[in-house]
Structure 1
């Protein structure tokens, strides 16, 4: 209820009193009394104005809180797709939209539809040493490792096979675990002095030497956790049901060591190529909990907060970069050396990338910012909580932009560029003229509508950037879709063990996302990658990236690749040396 103020003295009382005192009092006393009453009246008027001002402030504050509550309810209970009745928008703004279509020459082109145990119990001592996998009820698969030199001696009768030195690994194929027996041939030969000598075929190189996991098992654990979001304790329980005592600590070490291996090799090579050749990198970020270090006194402390940046380099690579903090310095380091287009939201940490230097750059040009129309649309969708007709008109105008893009999205980039400049440009120019005019009316008001219009006006240059090239897209939704993998993980495995573990997880997520991007089975790709990585030349790691894996795999010996461990013949490079260097240093812009 609005406050009311009562003024005890008004101007009529003052006039009447003047007439009365003029008859009964001396003039000086009357004038003094009148001045006193006028001062009281002025004070009451000031108090009344102050109360009215406070009332207006409270009303505005109440309205803002009501809108915030309405927006929170909408975010919680309404579909998260930010749906809006487009048919109703067409009816409301049919005349205005028809005029815009005529200006842009698109009349008739679109339909208007946007498109654990008690603490007091004594803990049992964990068994130490390598476990005996032969005692487990697993199907067995055998691989014999020979030594070519000794095999020649055996054929010449100068040596003989006397048995095998066997070790076991856990392998995986769909249908259940298998026991992979690695049998290295033992040889006995006569030396120059006539004495018998026993030698064993050397251990083939592996990504994780002496690990219990074969490449297939390692790929299975990684895909179960990072493709399907299963935490390691559930994988531990599943393995126990299969009769295999595989604890989560062991699997956690597998994850960290495997991620560090591919991060220093394949992911690093792909990232260098992306920063050198990518036309546009789309990026976004989300938070992740990091397990804190133990305090000296053993007391608990809350998890730290880290951040994952996702970088989508054209349609070639996807990278998840972990950083302990989300700052401008971190963003600048992530994109150091890149000078193409960057599509991101309007978060302030990205501003450092687009500031033009005072002096001409000596090494790289500054990247160009590309705005996200989905973020802009979201602001107007939120502003509709206030039943604002202006916000609804903004939704209708932006919906027309997406409808036009839907009409020609299957065309070539050159055609899209031509159509945008012919038909989309008039819509964009009309939208920003309208937004600037409406923003001038609400500039001094607080609320969702001012936020929506202010976002559009401030981001005009970035939002208009799609007119530069047909390969650019209107929205950055693909980055948000990629970050869903992190969101699923937050709900399932909750946190990462350390900063180093988080970096390893980011490398694995990068390979899995890139494999999906190119239509590869992530588990099959990781299995093959861990099989060949230890044999691959350092200067050719880029050939193992998902972008090139189909061509690389076709040139490998299928029988050698099918074996979990053993020798591997590395094929010649995809291109001769000069062309290989040109491909690595070339540009797709």
Structure 2
């Protein structure tokens, strides 16, 4: 007799006849089932290893191409100049002089001079007047904290004492937020702090509160929304500039979104479309256009890139493949990312030391070396 909550001895026994009656007795069938089970176990173990490495391992995917070549019995390829393996290779430590900014602060910064002169310029020995023979200059980096100020717009009113023509006055200037408190400069400051420096609005509200300006976070949210409305034409111009180019990089990332009436966040997507020809000294102005969507459906990149014709460098997301499939005129050519492909082989090699994965990493390293030579 077993107690409740303990494992019964029957569970440790082999399968009952009723359970094994429907099992195949053919050896080939059993062998195929065993191989399929082993393949599934290997795939699950690889998945667990990848998740552990992503959660607890190093983010850098460093690999020694020379070691891979020795494993495969080949000559190592020339290392690319920008390969992290080159930087991580053990070398003799060399004494590096410590770099300092003293005396080399940027020339465009304003210099505020504070002269510490002698109050008495008479010689302490003979009391004759001393003359200046030089000076010592010491530069230190200073900061002026952001200062809030109130901009007052005064519009005088005029009227003629001898006429009844009414009151004359200059027209009030237009504001980004009619009747609102912030100037356009303050709106730009809030946007740059939030999106450029990653400073949340509640922290900005606390910083303003230390200077006696009490603003609710919802007020700052309204400012951001109204400012973004004014920036929509600029956003459209940036996206049009990017999609006019012949080579565009595209990617997306999850973006938690808090909506009105929902206590939990919704996972939206932020799509990035970029053009950057600077690595090969191209003349196109670099730009990135970001577009938000509430989900990751394939229809979104198709709508964003409706007029695009050229080469689109992407990862393996199926939505980009659907874009090429739907555009049967061949206007879109997909160029997949080597870094994403290399990561798959790196994970397999790190988990199993597979020679096939090592061969793939070695060939990719050779391609990276060619690209490094092209970039100089």
What is the TM-score when the length of structure 1 is the normalising length? Answer: 0.45
User: How big is the shift at 1:377?
Assistant: 0.7
* Partner secondary structure for residue 270 of structure 1: helix
Partner in structure 1 of residue 224 of structure 2: 255
User: How big is the shift at 1:245?
Assistant: 0.6
Partners of 1:310 and 1:318 within 8 A in 2: yes
Alignment of 1:16-27 (within 5 A): none
User: Does residue 1:285 correspond to 2:252, yes or no?
Assistant: yes
Distance 1:71 1:253 in 2: 42
Partner in structure 2 of residue 417 of structure 1: none
Q: How much is the aligned-residue C-alpha RMSD, in angstroms?
A: 3.1
Q: Which has the larger radius of gyration?
A: 1
Per-residue CA deviation, residues 270-309 of structure 1 (Å, 9 max, x unaligned), is 322333x312111001122222442xxxxx6533222111
Partner in structure 1 of residue 55 of structure 2: 76
Change (3 A) 1:237 1:66: same
- Pick the structure with more helix per residue: 1
Distance 1:64 1:368 in 2: 32
User: Does residue 1:370 correspond to 2:338, yes or no?
Assistant: no
Alignment of 1:451-462 (within 5 A): none
Counterpart selection for 2:344 from 342, 362, 379: 379
Structure with higher RCO (Cα < 8 A, 6+ apart): 1
Partner in structure 2 of residue 472 of structure 1: none
Change (3 A) 1:391 1:196: same
Distance 1:329 1:48 in 2: 49
Alignment of 1:84-99 (within 5 A): 84-93=63-72, 95=74, 97=76
Partner in structure 2 of residue 273 of structure 1: 241
Give structure 1 stretches of 5+ with no counterpart: 6-42, 99-109, 116-172, 295-299, 411-589
Change (3 A) 1:75 1:190: same
Per-residue CA deviation, residues 222-273 of structure 1 (Å, 9 max, x unaligned), is 111112212111111111122211221111011111111111x222223223
Change (3 A) 1:348 1:216: same
Distance 2:182 2:44 in 1: 56
Partners of 1:338 and 1:367 within 8 A in 2: yes
Change (3 A) 1:357 1:318: closer
Give structure 2 stretches of 5+ with no counterpart: 1-13, 15-21, 84-142, 277-284
Partner in structure 2 of residue 354 of structure 1: 324
Per-residue CA deviation, residues 410-446 of structure 1 (Å, 9 max, x unaligned), is 4xxxxxxxxxxxxxxxxxxxxxxxxxxxxxxxxxxxx
Change (3 A) 1:301 1:240: closer
Change (3 A) 1:269 1:57: closer
Alignment of 1:232-243 (within 5 A): 232-243=201-212
Per-residue CA deviation, residues 478-527 of structure 1 (Å, 9 max, x unaligned), is xxxxxxxxxxxxxxxxxxxxxxxxxxxxxxxxxxxxxxxxxxxxxxxxxx
* Partner secondary structure for residue 153 of structure 2: strand
Aligned residues: 290
* Partner secondary structure for residue 182 of structure 1: coil
What is the TM-score when the length of structure 2 is the normalising length? Answer: 0.68
User: How big is the shift at 1:190?
Assistant: 0.7
